[in-house]
């Protein structure tokens, strides 16, 4: 069994939508990032790479790579899923926590879980997404940005 943990944060910028867990959410701001700035997927990629002992997302998808500009982060996740498949482990379950004051996330959880379970080729029941605010404290509380944590568990793949 192997555990992995990931964290990511991005600053809000000018814009009219953000992408979280692969879901496009209309908002009064955008996200400053080289890719689409999907904090859930970035945290999840780092958790998976951590569990595999394969470094971090910046090593695999450097933000100096012009071909990744504005990139759909689900591509990263699907590529990391192929690394999981090549390993002797399989995903047991994952849990993500979004840290955000606004916009409200709860009505998007189902679509996020669906996206993650599709990309990682695991049942919906193995994927959880939840959210919290910071009670107006810090950069999240000032609505300057959004963050996410992810934890994954991999089990030896017997098949
Ligand atoms: Mg990121």
Q: Please report which confidence band the pLDDT of residue 87 belongs to, taking 50, 70 and 90 as the band edges.
A: very high
3-state DSSP assignment of residue 96: strand
Instruction: Report pLDDT for 77.
Output: 97
Give percent of the chain above pLDDT 90: 89
The mean of the pLDDT values for the chain is 95
Q: How far is the CA of 45 from the centre of ligand 1 (A)?
A: 10
Instruction: Report pLDDT for 43.
Output: 98
pLDDT average, residue stretch 31-46: 95
Q: How far is the CA of 100 from the centre of ligand 1 (A)?
A: 15
pLDDT average, residue stretch 57-68: 88
Q: How far is the CA of 38 from the centre of ligand 1 (A)?
A: 6
Q: How far is the CA of 158 from the centre of ligand 1 (A)?
A: 33
- Evaluated on CA atoms 131, 132, 136, 137, the torsion sign reads negative
Q: How far is the CA of 92 from the centre of ligand 1 (A)?
A: 24
């Amino acid at each position: 069994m192997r555990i992995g943990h990931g964290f990511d944060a991005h600053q809000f910028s000018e814009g009219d939508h953000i992408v979280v867990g692969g879901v496009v959410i209309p908002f009064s701001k955008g996200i400053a990032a080289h890719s689409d700035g999907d904090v859930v997927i970035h945290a999840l990629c780092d958790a998976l790479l951590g569990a595999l002992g394969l470094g971090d997302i910046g090593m695999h998808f450097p933000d100096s790579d012009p071909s990744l500009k504005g990139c759909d982060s689900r591509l990263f996740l699907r590529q990391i899923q192929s690394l999981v498949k090549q390993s002797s482990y399989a995903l047991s379950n994952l849990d993500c926590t979004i840290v955000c004051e606004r916009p409200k996330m709860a009505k998007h959880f189902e679509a996020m879980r669906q996206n993650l379970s599709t990309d990682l080729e695991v049942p919906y029941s193995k994927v959880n997404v939840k959210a919290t605010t910071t009670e107006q404290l810090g950069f999240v509380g000032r609505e300057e940005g959004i963050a996410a944590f992810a934890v994954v568990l991999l089990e030896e793949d017997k098949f």
